[in-house]
């Protein structure tokens, strides 16, 4: 896909799909694609839709598949295939609980015995990587007997046995529903956890990569592209990138925060030297701002050090008046959170620095995607966090239509929309180049014949700055402030 996309929750951007359609046809018309986060039944479960009872239908409170078909007629539509788990309230799980081995869904859900047929010892059981405290299974009653079912994330999210025919048939049913609804890109959610291999931590193992290849082939058979979501060491991102159509760039965000905090670009430059070109360029998502993705993991050195990561979290804590430290969760076996639970503009705490980060995101090779809260220059929703006690909710505000109108009119939001419009410029179909121009400065550029666009930026910790330059048949234009960039869209439409 050429151009940029947005990442949204249907119910949190005006309340329904109809409101999103209006935005895509109106003020957000410069975005070419949209990823709607889980809209299945129900969208408001224990994990904000990532625990579907029925993964094949649209929650009727939001709309139905005809709404998505209509959206897909004008925009590339991305939706999630939740590979690792389903809800313990799903019809399949309830049927298995009631009937046991007599259920047609017997074998669909991963049990302790399936992973450890000869029994597991303490070392083997505790070696599994889990992003939550405690052990990765929960006891359920199945046909009158207690069974240990794998629950990698939450007790209400029961893991699927992706090797069993019943588990594979389930994934096919979901893919067929997504295809019927006009989905063009399938995001493999939590795929890094899907394959359990005793004797390893079972996260992004060779067996996982083999499964990614297999399910990618299946998705391609439905003429849909594959996006893989993996928060992991940057070398694992490099390994998986050739296997799929799109891989998240979760590394640029922490590196930009490091650069802005230290007034340097050397570590950002190291990433640019090896960064894949088939990236989905993101800074923030519904999960927060990934920091672990740039750091050391499992004894492997990172693009930034553990001390660099700690400094990023400390600066975020100061920028958010201490709230990011309250909302961010430290996983088991780790000393720092994986992600900052705060909005990206709140953490940067400087409009020019924030738009600088967005400009870098849009100028890098790949496909830029902007999370709705970041697009709307949203601040932390502390009230929602206080109600739910879910750290990620600080970055998941529910916008009313009235709030959307006010937010879209902000200069920062208009500047991001202008970057989306600029991304459709013919220069971005040409050759990309980048260079460091100083200890705290870089230049990113695209050239296609006589069309040229460039971004010069300085990561001065106290006074970040940027200049966007556009050269084409209409002449040369430069934009060096949020307000000037906000007016760029008007120039491009003349």
Q: Catalytic site residues?
A: 189, 229
Please tell me the total number of residues recorded for the chain in this structure: 494
Tokens 């296609």 sit at which residue? 448
Could you tell me the CA-to-CA distances from 298 to 134, 194, 198, 274, 331 in Å, in that order?
19, 19, 17, 20, 14
Q: Which of 3, 4, 27 is nearest to 399 (CA)?
A: 27
| Side-chain half-sphere exposure of 281, counting CA atoms within 13 A | 24
CA-to-CA distance for 278 and 90, rounded, in angstroms? 35
For residue 213 the two structure tokens come to: 């290849």
What is the separation, in whole angstroms, between the first and last Cα of the chain? 24
In this structure, are residues 158 and 109 in contact, taking their beta carbons and an 8 Å threshold?
yes
CA-to-CA distance for 291 and 338, rounded, in angstroms? 6
Q: Which of 181, 158, 198 is nearest to 79 (CA)?
A: 181
Question: What percent helix, strand, coil does the chain show, rounded to 5?
Answer: 40, 20, 40
Find the DSSP H helices in 165-322: 165-180, 206-221, 234-240, 252-262, 266-274, 306-319
C-alpha torsion sign, points 335, 338, 342, 348: positive
CA-to-CA distance for 287 and 48, rounded, in angstroms? 11
Extract long-range pairs of 435-442: CB within 8 Å, 24+ residues apart. Answer: 436/265, 436/266, 436/269, 438/265, 439/263, 439/264, 439/265, 439/266, 440/259, 440/263, 440/264, 440/265, 441/265, 442/265, 442/268, 442/269
For residue 187 the two structure tokens come to: 């995001």
Q: Is 60 exposed, middle or buried (0-12, 13-18, 19+ CB in 10 A)?
A: exposed
Q: DSSP letter for 1, please.
A: -
Residue 48 CB neighbours (<10 A): 19
In this structure, are residues 397 and 284 in contact, taking their beta carbons and an 8 Å threshold?
no
Beta bridge partners of 189: 82
Report the alpha-carbon angle 198-202-208, nearest 5.
115
């Amino acid at each position: 896909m050429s151009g940029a996309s947005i990442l949204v929750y249907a119910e949190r951007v005006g309340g329904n799909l109809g409101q999103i359609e209006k935005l895509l046809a109106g003020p957000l018309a410069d975005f070419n694609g949209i990823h709607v986060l889980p809209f299945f039944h129900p969208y408001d479960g224990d994990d904000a839709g990532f625990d579907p009872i029925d993964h094949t239908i649209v929650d009727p409170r939001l709309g139905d598949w005809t709404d998505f078909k209509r959206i897909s007629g004008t925009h590339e539509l991305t939706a999630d295939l939740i590979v690792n788990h389903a809800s313990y309230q799903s019809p399949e799980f309830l049927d298995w609980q009631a009937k046991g081995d007599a259920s047609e869904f017997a074998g669909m859900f991963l049990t302790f015995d399936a992973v450890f047929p000869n029994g597991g010892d303490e070392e083997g059981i505790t070696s599994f990587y889990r992003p939550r405290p405690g052990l990765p299974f929960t006891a359920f009653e199945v046909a009158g007997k207690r069974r240990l079912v794998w629950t990698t994330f939450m007790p209400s999210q029961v893991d699927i046995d992706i090797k069993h025919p019943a588990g594979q048939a389930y994934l096919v049913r979901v893919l067929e529903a997504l295809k019927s609804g006009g989905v063009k890109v399938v995001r493999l959610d939590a795929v890094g956890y899907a394959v359990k291999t005793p004797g390893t931590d079972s996260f992004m193992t060779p067996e996982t990569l083999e499964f990614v290849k297999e399910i990618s082939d299946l998705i391609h058979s439905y003429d849909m592209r594959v996006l893989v979501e993996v928060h992991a060491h940057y070398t694992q991102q490099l390994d998986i990138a050739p296997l799929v159509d799109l891989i998240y760039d979760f590394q640029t965000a922490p590196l930009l925060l490091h650069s802005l905090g230290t007034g340097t670009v050397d570590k950002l430059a190291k990433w640019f030297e090896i960064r894949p070109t088939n990236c989905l360029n993101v800074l923030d998502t519904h999960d927060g701002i990934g920091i672990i993705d740039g750091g050391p993991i499992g004894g492997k050195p990172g693009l930034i050090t553990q001390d660099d990561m700690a400094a990023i979290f400390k600066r975020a804590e100061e920028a958010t008046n201490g709230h990011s430290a309250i909302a961010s969760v430290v996983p088991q076996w780790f000393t720092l959170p994986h992600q900052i639970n705060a909005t990206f503009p709140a953490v940067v705490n400087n409009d020019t620095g924030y738009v600088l980060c967005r400009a870098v995101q849009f100028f890098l090779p790949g496909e830029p995607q902007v999370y709705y809260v970041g697009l709307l220059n949203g601040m932390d929703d502390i009230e929602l966090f206080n109600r739910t006690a879910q750290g990620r909710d600080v970055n998941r505000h529910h916008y009313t239509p009235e709030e959307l109108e006010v937010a879209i009119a902000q200069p920062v939001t208009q500047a991001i929309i202008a970057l989306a419009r600029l991304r459709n410029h013919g220069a971005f179909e040409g050759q990309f180049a980048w260079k460091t121009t100083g200890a705290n400065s870089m230049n990113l550029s695209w050239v296609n014949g006589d069309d040229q666009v460039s971004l010069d930026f300085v990561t001065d910790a106290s006074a970040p700055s940027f200049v966007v330059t556009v050269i084409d048949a209409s002449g040369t234009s430069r934009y060096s402030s949020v307000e000037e960039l906000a007016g760029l869209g008007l120039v491009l439409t003349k």
